[in-house]
């Protein structure tokens, strides 16, 4: 509830459909690990990323939080074979918000690689 209120606004959790709350509960161990770890997001060596010479699909939602959009932009810059797709009107939870658009983007990517 606290994380939802922080990321999506006060009262967000209470307004979610039961299925969405169940999905969050199913992932509670991940949330606990992320919020209690002293090193949840260790530094990533940009040179190591730059050397990845494989096709990569970077999906992002148009309404994804700014820090996550910055990460995607940097990955797109570093990865030589990155294909960036932005899902219109979607947030970080784009697979919940628009599974059809996400699936189409993935299938298009896979059909080319």
Per-residue pLDDT tens for 28-43?
888 888 888 888 888 8
Is 8's pLDDT higher than 80?
Answer: no
What's the pLDDT score for residue 2?
A: 81
Is 91's pLDDT higher than 80?
Answer: yes
What's the pLDDT score for residue 99?
A: 94
**CB of 45 within 8 A of CB of 72?**
no
Dist. CA 33–CA 100, nearest whole Å: 31
Q: Report which DSSP code applies to 41.
A: S
What's the pLDDT score for residue 45?
A: 94
Is 3's pLDDT higher than 90?
Answer: no
89-93 CB contacts, 8 Å cutoff, 24+ apart: 89/61, 89/62, 89/63, 90/61, 90/62, 90/63, 90/64, 91/61, 91/63, 91/64, 91/65, 92/61, 92/64, 92/65, 92/68, 93/61
Dist. CA 3–CA 6, nearest whole Å: 5
Q: What is the mean pLDDT of the chain?
A: 90
Dist. CA 8–CA 91, nearest whole Å: 10
């Amino acid at each position: 509830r606290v994380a939802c209120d922080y990321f999506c606004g006060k009262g967000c959790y209470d307004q979610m459909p039961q299925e969405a709350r169940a999905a969050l509960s199913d992932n509670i161990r991940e949330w606990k690990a992320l919020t209690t770890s002293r090193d949840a997001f260790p530094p990533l060596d940009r040179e190591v990323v730059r050397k990845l010479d494989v096709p990569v699909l970077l999906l992002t939602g148009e309404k994804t939080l700014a820090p996550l959009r910055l990460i995607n932009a940097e990955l797109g810059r570093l990865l030589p074979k990155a294909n960036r797709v932005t899902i219109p009107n979607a947030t970080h939870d784009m697979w919940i918000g628009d599974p059809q658009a996400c699936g189409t983007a993935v299938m298009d990517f896979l059909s080319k690689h």
